[in-house]
Amino acid sequence: MKLRIGEKLRELRRRDGRTQEELASALGVSAQAVSRWECGDGYPDIELIPPTANFFHVSVDELFDCGGEREERITAQLREVEAIVDGEAALDRLRRASDEFPSEPRILLALSQRLMAVIAEKNSVAVKKDGLKKLYDTDKNRENAYVLEAIRTMERCCGMDISPDERAQLVLCLMSLYAAVGDSSRAIELAMKQSPLGGSREFLLVYGTSGYDKKIVAAGTTLGLMRMLKLTLFEALGFCERKLGNYPVKLLEAFMSLYKALLDDGNYGVENSDLSDVCMMCAILSENNGRSSDADRYFSDAVGYYVTYSRLRSEKIVYSAGFIGGYAVSDPPEYTNFTIEYWCRNLPKSLAARLSVREEYRKYFTSGR
């Protein structure tokens, strides 16, 4: 691999409109030394590499960009990882890649994603359950090597040049991992650095558009807010379910009524998945409050919404009700937040025992075992 650092210095200097004398002054060397570097007659001393990178506001890696070879190598390694099925093998390959390219966000993003996949696959985040409450075993999780590595990797990646969507996903994952290890201070610090709800991209697009564009943007923002409200309610109700009797179910019923008012023609689209989640939560809450017949009914409704969405998600979904009409989802996700198999694994034992023997539901309880 031939070093072309001189060519890179000339390229960066011309990009920024800087002279050889300015670079020389910043580094404490002569202009003649800079000229020799750019002509290929030698290289900067190793201790000058970091300040040179800082002068041009680039990474050290970029100074050593060898005519596209670096990009080709990164791309090849990422493709190699994509073909690896075994999670541990993929992690090992990505760790070696990150050692070679420590400031490459694509590699760190891929490593973060694989770490989260392995954590989920191994079910390695320790949780203590109390009804719907998700209480982390923080002592065990602080000793979990995968969790700690994921936190370190994501924190590094958040400080790099990545897209807003990638950063948002990393922040969400980090918040869940901070909760798992009981690090509320870092979770609060990270949360306070994010944009407030009113300054989010979705809200700003609503305020900054007009006519039909505003209608479509407002539709997408409204549905997105409904999904976030669903998750917020789930988190909140899990910590007070037994104290409030049937109040949580009534609240979720009201939430579903709002969904159905927005989509009053029955074309629920992607929201079939969300309605399935809400019905599953109602089934759990009802069972825990001794309302077994209600629990059975909610479970049946949840399966109905799930089956409907499974049929719809193979094609583009176009909404037709009210101001949501015209809004479209070209590539519907497999599910919005939870799979039905996830819910079946987390049902109260009494409810699972009653429903898992029924022919129409059996496959949901046996899938993935």
Residue at token pair 């000058």: 48
Residue at token pair 């070209």: 330
Residue where a domain terminates, one of 192, 219, 242: 192
Q: How confident is the model at residue 129 (pLDDT cuts 50, 70, 90)?
A: low
The answer to whether residues 179 and 207 belong to one domain is no
Q: How far from the centroid of its chain's Cα atoms is residue 68's Cα?
A: 30
**Average pLDDT of the residues in 67-95:** 87
Q: Lowest mean pLDDT: which of 97-106, 125-134, 277-286?
A: 125-134
The answer to whether residues 47 and 153 belong to one domain is no
Of the candidates 315, 366, 321, 316, the residue with the CA atom closest to the CA atom of residue 340: 366
The whole model's pTM is what?
0.69
Contact 63, 53 (CB under 8 A): yes
Most confident of 1-15, 123-137, 154-168: 154-168
The answer to whether residues 34 and 137 belong to one domain is no
Task: Flag whether 327 is in a domain.
Answer: yes
pLDDT at 238 over 90: no
pLDDT at 100 over 90: no
Give me the number of domains the chain comprises: 3
Q: How confident is the model at residue 113 (pLDDT cuts 50, 70, 90)?
A: very high
User: For residues 211, 215, 217 and 220, what is the CA-based torsion angle, rounded to 10 degrees?
Assistant: -170
pLDDT at 304 over 90: yes
Residue where a domain terminates, one of 192, 219, 245: 192
Residue at token pair 């949360």: 191
Q: Lowest mean pLDDT: which of 27-41, 163-177, 329-343?
A: 329-343
**Average pLDDT of the residues in 255-272:** 95
The answer to whether residues 154 and 257 belong to one domain is no
pLDDT at 67 over 70: no
Give dist(CA 216, CA 224) in Å, integer. 12
| Residue 212 amino acid letter | Y
The answer to whether residues 293 and 208 belong to one domain is yes
**Token pair listed for 347:** 């049902």
Spell out the SS3 assignment of 113-180. HHHHHHHHHHCCCCEEEECCEEEECHHHHCCCHHHHHHHHHHHHHHCCCCCHHHHHHHHHHHHHHHHH
Which residue range is the domain that position 37 belongs to? 5-63
CATH code, 42 = 1.10.260.40
Contact 102, 93 (CB under 8 A): no
pLDDT at 66 over 60: no
Per DSSP, what are the bridge partners of residue 129? 134
Tens of pLDDT, residue by residue over 180-198, are 999 999 999 999 998 888 8
The answer to whether residues 174 and 231 belong to one domain is no
Average pLDDT across the chain, whole number: 88
Q: How confident is the model at residue 262 (pLDDT cuts 50, 70, 90)?
A: very high
User: Residue 2's pLDDT is what?
Assistant: 53
The answer to whether residues 142 and 228 belong to one domain is no
Task: Flag whether 68 is in a domain.
Answer: no
Tens of pLDDT, residue by residue over 270-285, are 999 999 999 999 999 9
Label the pairing between strands 328-329 and 127-130: unpaired
Contacts of 61 (CB under 8 A, 6+ apart): 70, 101, 102, 103, 104
Task: Flag whether 70 is in a domain.
Answer: no
Tens of pLDDT, residue by residue over 1-24, are 456 788 888 888 888 888 999 999
pLDDT at 369 over 50: no
Most confident of 2-6, 54-58, 108-112: 108-112
Contact 134, 85 (CB under 8 A): no
The answer to whether residues 231 and 349 belong to one domain is yes
Tens of pLDDT, residue by residue over 328-347, are 998 888 777 788 888 998 89
The answer to whether residues 186 and 254 belong to one domain is no
**Average pLDDT of the residues in 300-322:** 93
The DSSP result for 63-116, as a single string, is HT--TTHHHHHHHHHHHHHHT--SHHHHHHHHHHHHHHSTT-HHHHHHHHHHHH
Most confident of 3-17, 55-69, 165-179: 165-179
| Residue 309 amino acid letter | Y
